Amino acid sequence: MNEVNDVRSYNIGASNYSQNHKYQPWDFWILFRLNPWDGDITKRVLRKKSTDPRILDYKKMKHIALERIRQFQNNENVFPIENTEPKDVTFEEMIDDYNLTDDDKIILNIILYPNTSNRVKDYEKIIELCEKRIKELEKEEN
């Protein structure tokens, strides 16, 4: 196997993007030119890991959103905020085989299509949605 050319045909760890999905998180990062924090949130929205409970992803997304708010409030955002629309594929096509909840779709939409006039509001909405999902998942556990 030529590992460089075959890198997208497998995953390392418990996530299974390459086996079950046409688009991997990498594709979202590239097509939407995501910064590292938004890329991390995107990865967590899309993944389902057999080794970690789903609630952990929402807690991590909330934590990342809080850090982004801190960056904006302290004028530490070094990444330009862009609305980039991939030319050859639609949002719906990219998420079609992920079986996302409505809240997950909203989070992903906020990340991929940022409110360039008030990004803090975007992250506050992500926090709100994560807190909602955390409560729902905690109820399911009990």
Cα(84)–Cα(34) distance, integer angstroms: 9
Chain mean position to CA 17? 13
pLDDT single digits (tens) 101-142: 999 999 999 999 988 889 999 999 999 999 999 999 999 987
Per-residue pLDDT, 19: 63
* Cα–Cα distance measured from residue 136 to residue 142, given in angstroms and rounded to the nearest whole number: 10
Taking alpha carbons only, the member of 50, 54, 32 closest to residue 101 is 54
Determine the pLDDT at residue 131: 98
DSSP string across 13-44? SS--HHHH-SS-HHHHHHHTT--HHHHHHHHH
pLDDT in tens, the chain (142 residues): 455 567 666 666 656 655 677 888 988 999 999 999 999 999 999 988 778 899 999 999 999 999 999 999 999 988 888 777 777 888 898 998 898 999 999 999 999 998 888 999 999 999 999 999 999 999 998 7
Measured between alpha carbons, how far apart are the two ends of the chain, in Å?
Answer: 46
